[in-house]
């Protein structure tokens, strides 16, 4: 079956711009989580969506937002980009059953802010 698909794979943006990243989960998976990975901080949880509702949120500023559509596809948006937003952004999907942490991750979108 198809895995988690993230688009685009690579992105270069200028400070102050905004960016939208997309994630298509595995068919039947209703939970989509987003993580930011940088060399200094490792993987940091951004937020999780389930049935079009944000269910959990990490400690990121309001410039980071997301949404989930009825087909479970998700997007995340970062406004007013800063150099420090350069990172690998990872999306993970799961069935979201109770206690289910067996996530399937996509290959990520590598964002470079210049």
Partner 1 sequence: DAKTTQPPSMDCAEGRAANLPCNHSTISGNEYVYWYRQIHSQGPQYIIHGLKNNETNEMASLIITEDRKSSTLILPHATLRDTAVYYCIVPRAGNNRKLIWGLGTSLAVNP
List residues near partner 1 by CB under 8 A: 4, 31, 33, 35, 42-45, 48, 50, 55-56, 58, 88, 90, 92, 96, 98-99, 101-108
Q: Shortest distance, CB of residue 73 to partner 1, whole angstroms?
A: 17
Q: Shortest distance, CB of residue 43 to partner 1, whole angstroms?
A: 4
CB under 8 Å to 39, separation ≥6 — which residues?
none
What is the C-alpha separation between 36 and 12, in angstroms, rounded?
Answer: 16
Q: Shortest distance, CB of residue 65 to partner 1, whole angstroms?
A: 17
Q: Shortest distance, CB of residue 84 to partner 1, whole angstroms?
A: 19
* CB-nearer residue toward partner 1: 14 or 42: 42
Tokens coding 73:
């596809």
What is the C-alpha separation between 33 and 53, in angstroms, rounded?
Answer: 12
* CB-nearer residue toward partner 1: 37 or 79: 37
Strands 74-78 and 64-68: antiparallel
Q: Which residue has the tokens 């980009």?
A: 81
């Amino acid at each position: 079956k198809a895995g988690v698909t993230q688009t685009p794979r690579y992105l270069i943006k200028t400070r102050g711009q905004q960016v939208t990243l997309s994630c298509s989960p595995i068919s039947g998976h209703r939970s989509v989580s987003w993580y930011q990975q940088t060399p200094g901080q490792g993987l940091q949880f951004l937020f999780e969506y389930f049935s079009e509702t944000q269910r959990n949120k990490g400690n990121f500023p309001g410039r980071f937002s997301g949404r989930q559509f009825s087909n479970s596809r998700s997007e995340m948006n970062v406004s007013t980009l800063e150099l420090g937003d350069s990172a690998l952004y990872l999306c993970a999907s799961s069935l979201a059953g109770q206690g289910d942490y067996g996530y399937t991750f996509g290959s990520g979108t590598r964002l470079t802010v210049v």
